[in-house]
Amino acid sequence: MASPLNLLLLSTPVGPLGSGLGGGVELTLTNLCQELGQRGQRLTVLAPMGSELPDVTSPQVTIQPVAGTLQPTAHTQERDCEVLLPGDGVLPAMWDYARRQQQQYDLIVNFAYDWLPFYLTPFFDQPVAHFVTMGSLTTAMDRAIATVANQFPGRIGVYTQTQAETFLPGTACEVLGSAIDLSRYRFCPEPGAALAWMGRISPEKGLEDAIAAAETTGCPLKIMGKIENPAYWQQIQQQYPNAPIEYLGFLGTDQLQAVLGQCRALVMTPRWVEAFGNVAIEALACGVPVIAYRRGGPTEIIRPGETGWLVEPDSVSGLVEAISKIDQLDRWACRRQAEQDYSLTALGDRFEQWFQAILGRRAKTVPC
Ligand code: UDP
């Protein structure tokens, strides 16, 4: 067996790991740490103060908390906005730690969707790889990602091809997908009457459309997730005072899968190009079909007519029609798809190959 790699992973600076503010990247990071740790790789995760990885049991994984003001989220900024960096920010503090400690690591892996790590890449002696977790949002980020892709081929990883296509033409990306620990999601053959909606409660997730569809069909809707934008949440509650909805809060995986499994389908209503949609594969693992707008990552996940339905983007009537056809879908087919395509083993293999390719390429170009 090849000797273990020493990996330094830099988490998202928008919130502590475990808070839900980071969205799907928190789950991806958790799963990657668990899988690579079990394979014997040594991982240090730099993350904002208060971070925890409760679902990672591998002793090979340690968290190094870093103090500082959280970074503003990229999806709340205008396309042509300037780069924002709080003076006492956690992001520069994390990269300062990485710079000082870099010789202890074979590879540094960035999970932040922020300009600074891309800009700093050529200044590091050790190789820096970037797992980009959202599609194109700002001009500055598009340029920063394209620059690294051109200067350091193979260093940009993404979730999906659809996501990769949102970046500047010629930005070559490695498509790495996502995965979940299937053993933590129980298959539920007999659901109740409710539908599920899960995710950060923030305008780009389009929750109001799922609520409108619930109101029209009369199907109860269970909502799970972090309220990232309280004003938006309040506004949509006022807009649909009589909709049959129930907000259950931000749930941990064990509770989340128990509720989700009981639902007839997961409804995904992204207004943006969803880079992946981790909630979709969590649903499939429970045997829950997915109804989603035909936009971004879900188009690469859902098999229409088999494990879900893809709907005309932003069409509530399209959602309503798809809801009427849920019973045509086989819940076992959903679970099977999750097992075939989204296991942690497959994710670990893809990431390890990506890391080895970066290190192999570097060994050829950098004399020892
Ligand atoms: N999630 C959670 N608890 C909840 C609702 C959602 O932990 O109550 C997690 C879910 O498991 C998923 C993430 O929130 O990992 C949402 O990720 P996704 O990729 O769907 O969207 P993103 O937030 O990255 O845009």
The percent of the chain in helix, strand and coil, each rounded to the nearest 5, is 40, 15, 45
Q: What is the DSSP string of 243-299?
A: S-EEE--S--HHHHHHHHHTSS-EEE--SS--S--HHHHHHHHTT--EEEESSSTHH
Residues with CB under 6 A from ligand 1: 20, 23-25, 27, 198-200, 224-225, 250-251, 256, 276-279, 282
Q: Which of 183, 210, 208 is nearest to 194 (CA)?
A: 210
- The sign of the dihedral angle between the CA atoms of 67, 137, 158, 151 is negative
Q: What is the pLDDT of residue 1?
A: 52
Give the tokens for residue 88.
Answer: 């006492």
Q: Whose CA is nearest to atom 25 of ligand 1?
A: 23
Distance (Å) from CA 179 to ligand 1 centroid? 13
Segment (H or E) for 116 = helix 115-120
**Amino acid at position 231, single letter:** A
Substitution site in 14, 200, 248, 288 for ligand 1 pocket (most atoms within 8 Å of beta carbon):
200
Q: What is the pLDDT of residue 368?
A: 45
Residue 46 vs residues 89, 123, 325: alpha-carbon distances, Å: 14, 19, 45
Distance (Å) from CA 125 to ligand 1 centroid? 34
Q: Which of 299, 294, 305 is nearest to 333 (CA)?
A: 305
Q: What is the pLDDT of residue 222?
A: 98
pLDDT averaged over 10-residue windows placed end to end, the chain, 368 residues: 89 97 95 97 98 93 98 92 94 98 98 98 98 97 98 98 97 97 97 97 98 98 97 97 97 97 98 96 98 97 98 98 98 98 96 97 68
**Amino acid at position 305, single letter:** G
The ligand 1 atom at the shortest distance from the C-alpha of residue 270 is 25
Distance (Å) from CA 20 to ligand 1 centroid? 7
Distance (Å) from CA 200 to ligand 1 centroid? 6
Q: Whose CA is nearest to atom 13 of ligand 1?
A: 24
Q: Do 260 and 283 meet the contact criterion of CB atoms below 8 Å apart? A: yes
Torsion angle of alpha carbons 341, 335, 131, 170, nearest 10°? 50
pLDDT tens-digit series, residues 188-223: 999 999 999 999 999 999 999 999 999 999 999 999
Substitution site in 31, 32, 198 for ligand 1 pocket (most atoms within 8 Å of beta carbon):
198
Show the domains of the chain with their CATH numbers: 6-179+343-365 (3.40.50.2000), 182-341 (3.40.50.2000)
Distance (Å) from CA 4 to ligand 1 centroid? 30
Q: What is the pLDDT of residue 367?
A: 55
Distance (Å) from CA 152 to ligand 1 centroid? 31
Distance (Å) from CA 88 to ligand 1 centroid? 28
